[in-house]
C-alpha cells in the first residue's frame, strides 16, 4: 500500500485525539495566562499572575512536599521492585512468565479498591490494630491512617507492579555470559552485581523511578483517601481550584507546571534508556 | 539463570507477593464475614452481596458504568485498530505522530480531566454520560492501538502485497487478510479498554457534570470510601476486582500470554 492510504485509516483516531486531547490541553495552557473573573469565571486579559502565584511560598511548599512524597515513593518502589524483578529473573525460565503475570495482576485491578484495602488494614479499628490486640498488645497504637507514611505506602503499593515490569525487562535480556565472564575474571557475586549487572539495567531502574514519580506527584486519589482531608498534594490543589475554589486560571497554571516537571523527567528517562541500550545485547 | 543464592531470592519473592496480595485478600475475606467487622469472624456469609443487590444507588451506578464502558470500547476499538494498521503500514515513523499516540497513556489523569472539563464547559456542552464516553475513548483508543500494534510488529506485510497483486481492493485486503490475523489482538485490546473504562475514576468524575444521574461505579465507590469502611464496600470491591481479573486473564490468553504493557 502506498503512503497515502494510511492517512485515512489513521484520521478518525487522530481527529478524535486532536479534538478531545490536544485542543483541551492547549486550552489549559492558554487559561493559565488569563485572569480569574470576579465570580469565578474567566476574564480575558493576559496576565502572568497565576504563574507567579505558583512560586508563592505557600504553594511552592505544596509542590516541594508532593515532590518529596513522590520521590520517596519512587525510591522505595524501585528498591523493592528491582529486588523482586531480580528474584524473578533468577528463577527457572519456564516459571518466569507466570511469576511476572502474578506480579502485574494487581496493577490492573481497580485503583480505588487497592487504596481502600489499606484503609481496611490501617484504620483505628482495622486489621493491624486487631492483630496487635490478638498478640496481647494493650497500649494505644500510633495513628496509622491519614498520615504521610500511609500515603507513601499506598503509592508504593499501587505502582510496585509497574516497577517490577520495568526492571524485569533489562534483567531478562541480560546476556548470562557477561556475568560469567566477570566471575571468571575473579569478580565476586556482589562485585559482579554492582559493576556489571546493575549498570546494565539502569534503563529499567530509570523507567521505573520516573513513572512512579510522575504518577505519584500528580496523584489526588491516594492523598485524599489515605492522607485525610487536610493532606494536600498538587493533584488535590488542582482539584480544589476546579471544583471548589473555582479559580480555573490558577488551576491551569498549576497543571502547566506539573506537566513541565513531568516532561523534563520523561525526557531525562528517554536519555537514560538510550544511553543504557548501548551496552546491552540487542533484543529481536 | 543467575548464580544468586536461591533461598534469598525465594524470600524476596515471598515478601513481595505477600505485600501485593495480603491487603486485597483481606478485603475479599472480610466481604464474606457475617459480622462485617475486621475484628471478629462470625462465619461465612454472602449477605453483604445481597445488601448490594438491594442498593438502588449502586445498581444505578453499575448500569451507568456498563453503558460508558460498552460505548467507549466500541468506538475506541474501531478507531484504535484503524490507527494501528495505518501507523504500521507507513514505513516512515514520525516522532510527532508517536508522541500524539503515546500521550493519552502518560498524561496524568487529573490534567486530562480538568482539560476536558474546561473544554466542555467553555463550549457550553451539557455534561453527562456522553461526555464521559467521549473522554474515555481518548485513552482507550491509545491502549487498543498499542495492543494491536504489538501484534502487527510480527505481521508479514508481503501477504498484503500478494493480496493487492491479486487484485483485491484495500478494503477487501483489510477485511479478508489483515483482520483475521489481527482479531485476537483486537479482542484483547477491546477487553483491556472495557476494563480500563470500568475502573476509571478521575476523568469520569470531572466530565460527569453535576447531579447524580451520571454517577459511575468508581465515583460511587469513592463517595462510599470517604465515609469509612463498610461491609458493603468490601463486597462491591471484591466484585469489581474479580471482574477486572477475569477480563484481563481473558485478554492475556488472547494476546499470546502477554498482559497489556508487558
CATH for B199: 1.10.3720.10
pLDDT over threshold 80, residue B39? no
Q: Is residue B20 part of a domain?
A: no
Of A12, A104, A242, the CB nearest to B79: A12
Nearest chain A alpha carbon to B202: A221
Q: Is residue B110 part of a domain?
A: yes
pLDDT over threshold 60, residue B244? yes
Shortest CA gap A212–chain B (Å):
11
Q: Is residue B4 part of a domain?
A: no
pLDDT over threshold 60, residue B55? yes
Torsion on CA atoms B3, B5, B6, B9, rounded to nearest 10: -100
Task: Give B-chain residues touching A80 at CB under 8 angstroms.
Answer: 16, 19
Which H or E element spans position B26?
Answer: helix B6-31
Query: Which three three-digit cell numbers place residue A205?
Result: 531502574
pLDDT for the residue numbered A17: 96
Q: Is residue B16 part of a domain?
A: no
pLDDT for the residue numbered A133: 80
Number of domains making up chain B = 1
With CB atoms and an 8 Å threshold, state whether A160 touches B225: no
pLDDT for the residue numbered A40: 66
pLDDT for the residue numbered A284: 32
pLDDT over threshold 60, residue B194? yes
Q: Is residue B225 part of a domain?
A: yes
Which of A249, A277, A261, A258 lies closest to A41, judged by CA?
A249
For residue B195, the enclosing domain spans: 55-254
With CB atoms and an 8 Å threshold, state whether B138 touches A10: no
Q: How confident is the model at residue B257 (pLDDT cuts 50, 70, 90)?
A: low
pLDDT for the residue numbered B168: 85
Of A27, A126, A214, the CB nearest to B118: A27
With CB atoms and an 8 Å threshold, state whether B3 touches A116: no
With CB atoms and an 8 Å threshold, state whether B229 touches A126: yes
Q: The domain A57-279 belongs to what CATH superfamily?
A: MetI-like (1.10.3720.10)
Q: Is residue B78 part of a domain?
A: yes
Task: Give B-chain residues touching A165 at CB under 8 angstroms.
Answer: 261-262
pLDDT for the residue numbered A23: 96
pLDDT over threshold 70, residue B227? yes
The per-residue pLDDT of chain B, averaged, comes to 88
pLDDT for the residue numbered A1: 46
Instruction: Report mean pLDDT in 10-residue bins for chain A, 284 residues.
Output: 67 95 94 81 82 89 94 97 95 91 87 93 83 80 89 96 92 82 81 83 90 90 89 90 88 91 86 62 37
Q: Is residue B108 part of a domain?
A: yes
pLDDT for the residue numbered A183: 79
pLDDT for the residue numbered A159: 95
Q: Is residue B95 part of a domain?
A: yes
With CB atoms and an 8 Å threshold, state whether B87 touches A6: yes
Whole-prediction pTM: 0.88
Amino acid at each position: 500500500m502506498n503512503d497515502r492510504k494510511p492517512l485515512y485509516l489513521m484520521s478518525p483516531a487522530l481527529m478524535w485525539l486532536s479534538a478531545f486531547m490536544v485542543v483541551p490541553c492547549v486550552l489549559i495552557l492558554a487559561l493559565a495566562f488569563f485572569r480569574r473573573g470576579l465570580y469565578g469565571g474567566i476574564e480575558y486579559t493576559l496576565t502572568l499572575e497565576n504563574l507567579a502565584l505558583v512560586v508563592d511560598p505557600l504553594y511552592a511548599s505544596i509542590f516541594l512536599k508532593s515532590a518529596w512524597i513522590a520521590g520517596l515513593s519512587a525510591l522505595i518502589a524501585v528498591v523493592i521492585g528491582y529486588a523482586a524483578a531480580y528474584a524473578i529473573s533468577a528463577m527457572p525460565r519456564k516459571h518466569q512468565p507466570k511469576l511476572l503475570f502474578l506480579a502485574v495482576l494487581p496493577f490492573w485491578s481497580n485503583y480505588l479498591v487497592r487504596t481502600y484495602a489499606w484503609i481496611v488494614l490501617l484504620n483505628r479499628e482495622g486489621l493491624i490494630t486487631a492483630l496487635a490486640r490478638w498478640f496481647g498488645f494493650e497500649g494505644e497504637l500510633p495513628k496509622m491512617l491519614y498520615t504521610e507514611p500511609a500515603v507513601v505506602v499506598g503509592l508504593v503499593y499501587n505502582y510496585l507492579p509497574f516497577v517490577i515490569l520495568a526492571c524485569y525487562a533489562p534483567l531478562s535480556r541480560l546476556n548470562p555470559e557477561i556475568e560469567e565472564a566477570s566471575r571468571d575474571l575473579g569478580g565476586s557475586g556482589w562485585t559482579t552485581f554492582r559493576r556489571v549487572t546493575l549498570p546494565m539495567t539502569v534503563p529499567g531502574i530509570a523507567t521505573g523511578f520516573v513513572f512512579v514519580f510522575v504518577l505519584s506527584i500528580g496523584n489526588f486519589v491516594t492523598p485524599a483517601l489515605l492522607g485525610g482531608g487536610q493532606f494536600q498534594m498538587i493533584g488535590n490543589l488542582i482539584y480544589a481550584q476546579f471544583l471548589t475554589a473555582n479559580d480555573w486560571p490558577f488551576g491551569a497554571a498549576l497543571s502547566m507546571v506539573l506537566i513541565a516537571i513531568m516532561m523534563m523527567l520523561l525526557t531525562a528517562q528517554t536519555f537514560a534508556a538510550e544511553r543504557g541500550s548501548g551496552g546491552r545485547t540487542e533484543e529481536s | 539463570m543467575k548464580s544468586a543464592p536461591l533461598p534469598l531470592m525465594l524470600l524476596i519473592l515471598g515478601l513481595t507477593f505477600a505485600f501485593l496480595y495480603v491487603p486485597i485478600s483481606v478485603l475479599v475475606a472480610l466481604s464474606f464475614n457475617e459480622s462485617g467487622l475486621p475484628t471478629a469472624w462470625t462465619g461465612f456469609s454472602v449477605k453483604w452481596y445481597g445488601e448490594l443487590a438491594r442498593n438502588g444507588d449502586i445498581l444505578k451506578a453499575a448500569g451507568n458504568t456498563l453503558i460508558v464502558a460498552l460505548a467507549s470500547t466500541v468506538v475506541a476499538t474501531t478507531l484504535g485498530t484503524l490507527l494501528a494498521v495505518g501507523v504500521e503500514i507507513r514505513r516512515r515513523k514520525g516522532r510527532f505522530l508517536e508522541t500524539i499516540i503515546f500521550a493519552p497513556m502518560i498524561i496524568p489523569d487529573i490534567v486530562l480531566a480538568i482539560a476536558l472539563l474546561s473544554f466542555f464547559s467553555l463550549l457550553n456542552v451539557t455534561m453527562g454520560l456522553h461526555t464521559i464516553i467521549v473522554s474515555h475513548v481518548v485513552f482507550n483508543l491509545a491502549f487498543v492501538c498499542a495492543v494491536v500494534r504489538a501484534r502487527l510488529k510480527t505481521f508479514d506485510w508481503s501477504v498484503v502485497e500478494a493480496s493487492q497483486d491479486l487484485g483485491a481492493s484495500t478494503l477487501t485486503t483489510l477485511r479478508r487478510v489483515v483482520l483475521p490475523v489481527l482479531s485476537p489482538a483486537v479482542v484483547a485490546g477491546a477487553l483491556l479498554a472495557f476494563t480500563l473504562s470500568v475502573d476509571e475514576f478521575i476523568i469520569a468524575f470531572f466530565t460527569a457534570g453535576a447531579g447524580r444521574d451520571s454517577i459511575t461505579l468508581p465515583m460511587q465507590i469513592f463517595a462510599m470510601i470517604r465515609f469509612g469502611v463498610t461491609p458493603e464496600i468490601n463486597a462491591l470491591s471484591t466484585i469489581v476486582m474479580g471482574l477486572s481479573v477475569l477480563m484481563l486473564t481473558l485478554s492475556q490468553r488472547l494476546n499470546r500470554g502477554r498482559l497489556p504493557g508487558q
